[in-house]
């Protein structure tokens, strides 16, 4: 399937709109959308398009810097949301202390992002986005789905057990592969792969968000023997890790057999309220 030129233009337009919104207000929704559309443009210019022009290279560098700073804010937004959803009878004081620490860090990261989004940077980014969108051309031989599956298949060559490090690599590769597949348009095969990759990405992303929250709690309160909150978070994170491994195994099977994964077996990334004290110790 060739590149959907309309979808390419839409991505540039949406990033331009998100830039306007995030420059005015750094709320969670605006930061998240700015980050995701930045990734889409990066995937388009960095992985799918021919050798980027001088303007394209500078745009990629600028986007990478801003996207990473937006990512730090976004990560803290998700961690705070997860912590609020955690129901734990013990260590209420530690939970409140952790909430305050995350909120303070979020404020610091927001200031750094805001400083990077001052008018001069926003103006330069818009100018380069417009130029890159106008210059973008693809050879007829460019096939987004082929690039997508090649990107994903490279990770599946290892037969070693999945670790936290490799699961995180699947999270990053899954994002990039999904965004590349989106440029194949509305073809049924593309939509199927996009849905599968998104579900895998959501499950692994859920685990990663809880892992980062757990690590932050450990910095403040010590290990599982020192804090009931840390113990609950560690149990929950290990259970999420196993769900992430299952999601990767399903996706690997789908790629190998060229059939859809069982999406109903994969949980959504948006977490419900968890009864942490009720987690069985066997997940540790």
pLDDT less than 50: residues of the chain: 259-284
Return the pLDDT at 1: 65
The pTM assigned to this predicted structure is 0.83
- Give the whole-angstrom CA distance, residue 171 versus residue 174: 5
pLDDT at 39: 94
| Dihedral over Cα of 35, 201, 260, 48: its sign | positive
Q: Within the chain, what is the greatest distance between any pair of CA atoms?
A: 61
- Residues 74, 31 contacting (CB under 8 angstroms): yes
Segments in the chain forming alpha helices (H): 5-24, 28-43, 54-85, 92-116, 119-135, 144-155, 164-182, 188-221, 228-257
Strand partners, 87: 275
Domains and CATH numbers, the chain: 5-283 (1.40.20.10)
Task: State the DSSP H helix or E strand holding residue 275, giving kind and residue range, or none if neither.
Answer: strand 274-275
- Read out DSSP for 33-73? HHHHHHHHHHHIIIIISSS--HHHHHHHHHHHHHHHHHHHH
């Amino acid at each position: 399937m060739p590149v959907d030129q309309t979808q390419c233009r839409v991505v540039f337009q949406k990033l331009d709109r998100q830039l306007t919104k995030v420059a005015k207000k750094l709320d969670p929704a605006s930061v998240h959308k700015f980050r995701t559309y930045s990734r889409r443009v990066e995937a388009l210019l960095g992985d799918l398009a021919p050798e980027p022009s001088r303007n394209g290279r500078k745009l990629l560098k600028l986007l990478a810097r801003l996207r990473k700073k937006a990512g730090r804010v976004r990560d803290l937004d998700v961690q705070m949301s997860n912590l609020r959803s955690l129901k734990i009878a013990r260590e209420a004081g530690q939970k409140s202390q952790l909430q305050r620490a995350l909120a303070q860090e979020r404020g610091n990261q927001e200031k750094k992002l805001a400083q990077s989004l001052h008018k001069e940077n926003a103006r330069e980014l818009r100018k380069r986005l417009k130029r890159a969108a106008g210059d973008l051309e693809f050879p007829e031989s460019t096939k987004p789905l082929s690039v997508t599956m090649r990107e994903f298949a490279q990770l599946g060559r290892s037969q070693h057990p999945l670790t936290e490090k490799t699961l995180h690599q699947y999270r990053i590769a899954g994002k990039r592969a999904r965004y590349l597949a989106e440029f194949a348009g509305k073809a049924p095969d593309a939509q199927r792969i996009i849905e599968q990759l998104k579900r895998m990405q959501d499950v692994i992303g859920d685990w990663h968000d809880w892992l980062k929250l757990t690590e932050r709690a450990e910095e403040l309160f010590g290990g599982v023997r020192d804090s009931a909150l840390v113990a609950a978070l560690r149990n929950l994170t290990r259970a999420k890790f196993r769900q992430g491994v299952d999601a990767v195994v399903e996706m690997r099977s789908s790629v190998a057999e060229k059939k859809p994964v069982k999406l109903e077996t994969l949980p959504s990334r948006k977490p419900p309220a968890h009864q942490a004290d009720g987690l069985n110790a066997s997940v540790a």
